[in-house]
Structure 1
Amino acid sequence: MTTLIVMPGTGSDADYAARVFGPAAASIGARLVSLEPESDLVNSYSTRLDQVAAEGDDLLVGGISIGAAIAVEWALRSPLAQHCRGVLAALPPWSGPAADSLAALSARLTADAIERDGLAAAVAQMVRTSPAWLGAELSRSWRSLADRGLVEQLRAAAAHAAPAESELSALTVPLGVAAAPDDPLHPVEVGRAWAAYAPRAAVRAVPLTEFGPAPHRLGDACAAAWRDASAAAPAEA
């Protein structure tokens, strides 16, 4: 039995991650486990990854944005990652420290707006400045996460250092990356860099205009890239 464990991006939830990766999991023949974010974002994800891994199944781990970063980190660092067969990384947000990343800046500004103006006003402003599908999606997820430490999640993600080049170069399992050439918050160059740094990796491009209205296209691109990476010969030591 193979289990695919996935984590959503900042401000998103398990429901969205399940819709992104559900068809991809089925195509791989894997059971899908989609994790819900908590206030202690990174530690809670790592703990629950270990809990699922302890069941002994073969694993794939994956995520969107900050979820993708945490998936790679877990595959690199957890003793239980011996069961891991690969990582599916959708929309990598940055490499190393967040610095001036637009995704991190957006998370900080969103947290500021919620604290300053309240959730309802922040949602209304976001809807006014977003495509219809994104406004609807984030309106739902922000409200669902309001009692689960949404502001703390946003700030934790914005301060988190993603895997750097030296860390990605130590990843021994196949890495499948999906990157969007039209998503300014998750630059396609970051996704391509992740795939270039990792020894066994591939990247598939999928436009935001495609997966926005059809989230499964993002997960499908990740799965296709992981298959590409898995088919490649391991790099010689």
Structure 2
Amino acid sequence: MPAETVLLLPGTASDEVFVRSVFADPLSQVGAVLTAPRVRTLSERLTALENAFTGHPIVVGGVSLGAHVAAAWAVRNPGKCAGLILALPAWTGTPEHAPAAQAAKISAEIVANQGLETALQGTTGWLRNELTRAWRGYGDQLVPHLEEAATSAAPTLEELKTLDVPTGIVGCTDDPIHPIEIAEQWANAIPRAVLTTTTLDAYPHALGRAVQAWQRAR
């Protein structure tokens, strides 16, 4: 029997390199294979999901914005989705005053008006390394993507309730950009969801715990 393929999407202004670094090993440990497409815009994320479906339901998911896009696709295509692996959902429904949406909007303004290096000031460690690589990789698409992400809708709670597939969710108890309350809302709404948690000091690899949560939900 061939290994199960899981397609996971990056978050806002993140990339496939980050997705692979977090999820490739946890998925291999459960006999699954990661597909992490190179995508930059919201439409490219959706196209990747559509192209991945070849007639058999697939497991999809992602980080933050990637989780939103994958879950929204699953809502619209219930016969195509076999499961969900979701890390750090950032809001439910419209972004309103969601911290992650505000952060994306502010970052777009700083990059546009003061440049990339100024926008990266204040970040340190692994986060600075990840953002430096990923943001430079977006090139001229960075500001438009940050702006579109800041206004994009995630599934509503009513929509999430229709997702009757095994779902693993990882939330962070002390990440102000991705409030744990949102992950809890999603886990409570999705009928077959299992929620696991992490903390900032365990980032980024602890996001792979969503894979184990998905296994427990099966």
Give the TM-score category using the shorter length: over 0.9
Aligned to 1:120: 117
Q: How does 1:1-20 map to 2 (within 5 A)?
A: 1=2, 2-20=4-22
Q: Which moved more, 1:180-189 or 1:114-123?
A: 114-123
Deviations 1:45-93 (A, max 9, x none): 1112111112x45521010000001111111113xx5342210000010
Aligned to 1:167: 159
Q: Answer yes or no: is 1:130 the counterpart of 2:126.
A: no
SS in 1 for 2:86: strand
Q: How does 1:149-160 map to 2 (within 5 A)?
A: 149-160=141-152
Q: How does 1:65-214 map to 2 (within 5 A)?
A: 65-78=64-77, 82-123=79-120, 125=121, 129-147=122-140, 149-212=141-204
Deviations 1:171-225 (A, max 9, x none): 111111000101100001100110001111110001121123xx2x211x10111
* Native 8 Å contact 2:74 2:80 kept in 1: no
TM-score using structure 1 length: 0.86
Give the distance between the partners of 2:165 and 2:71, measured in 1 at CA.
10
Give the distance between the partners of 2:56 and 2:96, measured in 1 at CA.
37
Distance 1:21 1:108, change over 3 A: same
Give the distance between the partners of 2:39 and 2:156, measured in 1 at CA.
23
Q: Which moved more, 1:18-27 or 1:92-101?
A: 18-27
Q: How does 1:49-60 map to 2 (within 5 A)?
A: 49-54=49-54, 56=55, 58-60=57-59
Deviations 1:137-190 (A, max 9, x none): 11111111224x111111111101111110000111111100010110000110
TM-score using structure 2 length: 0.94
In structure 2, the gaps of 5 or more residues are: none
* Native 8 Å contact 1:62 1:68 kept in 2: yes
Aligned to 1:23: 25
* Native 8 Å contact 1:98 1:159 kept in 2: yes
SS in 2 for 1:63: strand
Aligned to 2:214: 226
* Native 8 Å contact 1:180 1:205 kept in 2: yes
Give the distance between the partners of 2:169 and 2:84, measured in 1 at CA.
8
Give the distance between the partners of 2:6 and 2:57, measured in 1 at CA.
9
The letter of the residue matching 1:21 is: F
The letter of the residue matching 1:227 is: Q
For this pair of structures, how many residues does the alignment match? 216
SS in 2 for 1:177: strand
The letter of the residue matching 1:134 is: L
